[in-house]
DNA sequence: CATTAAACCAAACAACCGTTTGGTGCGGTC
DNA sequence: GACCGCACCAAACGGTTGTTTGGTTTAATG
């Protein structure tokens, strides 16, 4: 019976949120991308904010499985884990040219407290995974600091990529990150 | 006769754009901050987008006078110029906790071509001023690359500051920037 | 085949958006 | 003192927003 599953709507919505942001994406936009009228979306989700929240959850899951998990893959050396994780990040952002979490965070810091918490949790988890690969070499506190710096550097580079369509700073940043081990 | 000057409206609007973004700031918001009804704003500006454009111009002027100019102040050594500029940047962003250019750029990349050009020009000018201080020490092309990386790093650190209210990455980034000379 | 519930459409809803209009009060000028 | 133009308000404009409602199609089940 099902024709359009909720996950498909979430994927289309996430893509729109990434390129246009949350406020600039209307229910009609999400509907059109999903092949529905805007009213029909409310059969799958209770509100627009719920779509955002679930879409961010889904994105966190993707990062967990495809990127963060590489940092804990014990079939590789630590250097290999770092390389794999950084390369996965680099490929993701060069392909998508923007970070939904960063984009939405600016719109959601005041209202939408739950979304703000989700975004903070995402970046904390990212830092934790990143610091994990660096810990034995640099020690816990230094590793955490290096991870924090690397993530914020990467976000800045993604912003530059979004503004100038120039991936050079991102590539240089990833090269530097790989040299941390 | 004049009671509210246009520059006051621009300052209030810029402050709102910085914290809430462009789309989330309504004419009523700008009016309330300026002590006017939203309709009255149209006596000073032709449209909301014009307010954004002029506010960004005004911000560019402030950066030019108070930050970029330090990089060319020939009463100082190059090391002193770099220190002064980086400290000015650091103080500005710790005080304001967000970058309007970065915030608006995400909302203005698709539509609002003029605003996008203004933002690109701002970052190019920033890179030029930054690279100017580094040129004699590192050579033109390397200086440009270092400036690009420093700016994108700083923007990432400002994003982190905005999300976690934690200025540590920004302070570390500025320390690193000062060590470029 | 009848029943049922999910999936969807078409239409309307109130609220808000940026913008326009017409009118009011004021300060300065002839 | 009549006039003018600026600064502003109050109200309305058409359009869009997120959301709700009621009815219609669809597909699986007994």
pLDDT 10s digits, B32-70: 999 999 999 999 999 999 999 999 999 999 999 999 999
Contact B125, A142 (CB under 8 A): no
Select the residue of A119, A151, A157 nearest B152 (Cβ to Cβ).
Answer: A157
Contact B104, B14 (CB under 8 A): no
CA distance A166 to A159: 10
**Residue B110 in 3-state DSSP?**
coil
Tell me if B120 and A172 make a contact (CB, 8 A cut-off): no
Nucleic strand D contacts from chain B, 7-36, CB < 7 Å: 31, 35-36
Please name the nucleotide lying closest to B41, CA to C1'.
Answer: D8
Tell me if A106 and B103 make a contact (CB, 8 A cut-off): yes
Cα radius of gyration (chain B): 18
What's the pLDDT at A1? 41
The residue that minimises its CA distance to C1' of D8 is B40
Q: Model confidence at B19, in pLDDT bands (50, 70, 90)?
A: very high
* Residue-wise DSSP of B127-179: HHHHHHHHHHHH-HHHHHHHHHHHHHHHHHHHHHHHHH---HHHHHHHHHHHT
CB atoms within 10 A of CB B2: 6
Q: Model confidence at B4, in pLDDT bands (50, 70, 90)?
A: confident
Best CA proximity match to B147, nearest among B157, B167, B132: B132
Query: Tokens representing B53?
Result: 């454009």
What's the pLDDT at B2? 56
The protein footprint on chain D, as nucleotides within 7 A of a CB, is: 5-12, 16-22, 26-28
B120 CA to centre of own chain: 11
Contact B134, B146 (CB under 8 A): yes
CA distance B37 to B15: 18
Q: Say yes or no: Cβ of B43 under 7 A from any atom of strand D.
A: yes
CB atoms within 10 A of CB B152: 29
Q: How many CA atoms lie within 13 A of B181 on its CB side?
A: 24
Query: pLDDT per residue over B149-173, tens digit each?
Result: 999 999 999 999 999 999 999 999 9
CA distance B27 to B49: 11
Q: How high does pLDDT run on average in chain A?
A: 96
The residue that minimises its CA distance to C1' of C20 is B39
Tell me if A106 and B169 make a contact (CB, 8 A cut-off): no
Give the burial class of B118: count Cβ atoms within 10 A of its Cβ; 0-12 exposed, 13-18 middle, 19 or more buried: buried
CB atoms within 10 A of CB B67: 20
Contact B112, B120 (CB under 8 A): no
Residue A9 has phi, psi (to 5 degrees) of -60, -45
Tell me if B106 and A103 make a contact (CB, 8 A cut-off): yes
Strand C CB-contacts below 7 Å: A 1-4, 31, 35-40, 43-44; B 1, 25-29, 38-39, 41-42, 46-49
Query: Tokens representing B170?
Result: 């920004």
Best CA proximity match to A131, nearest among A118, A120, A140, A121: A140
Query: Tokens representing B98?
Result: 């967000």
What is each CA distance from A32 to A14, A35, A46, B107, in whole angstroms? 14, 5, 18, 21
Query: pLDDT per residue over B85-138, tens digit each?
Result: 999 999 999 999 999 999 999 998 889 999 999 999 999 999 999 999 999 999
DSSP for residue A76: S
């Amino acid at each position: 019976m099902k024709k359009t599953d909720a996950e498909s709507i979430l994927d289309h919505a996430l893509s729109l949120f990434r390129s246009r942001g949350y406020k600039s994406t209307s229910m009609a936009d999400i509907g059109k991308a999903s092949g529905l009228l805007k009213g029909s979306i409310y059969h799958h989700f209770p509100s627009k904010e719920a779509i955002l929240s679930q879409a961010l959850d889904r994105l966190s899951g993707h990062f967990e499985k495809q990127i963060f998990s590489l940092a804990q893959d014990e079939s590789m050396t630590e250097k290999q884990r770092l390389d794999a994780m950084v390369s996965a990040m680099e490929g993701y952002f060069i392909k998508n040219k923007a970070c939904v979490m960063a984009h939405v965070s600016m719109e959601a810091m005041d209202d939408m407290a739950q979304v703000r918490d989700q975004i903070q949790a995402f970046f904390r988890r990212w830092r934790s995974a990143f610091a994990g690969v660096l810990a034995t070499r640099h020690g816990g506190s230094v590793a955490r600091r290096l991870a924090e710096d690397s993530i914020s550097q990467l976000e800045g580079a993604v912003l530059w990529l979004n503004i100038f369509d120039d991936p050079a700073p991102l590539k240089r940043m990833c090269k530097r990150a790989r040299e941390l081990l």
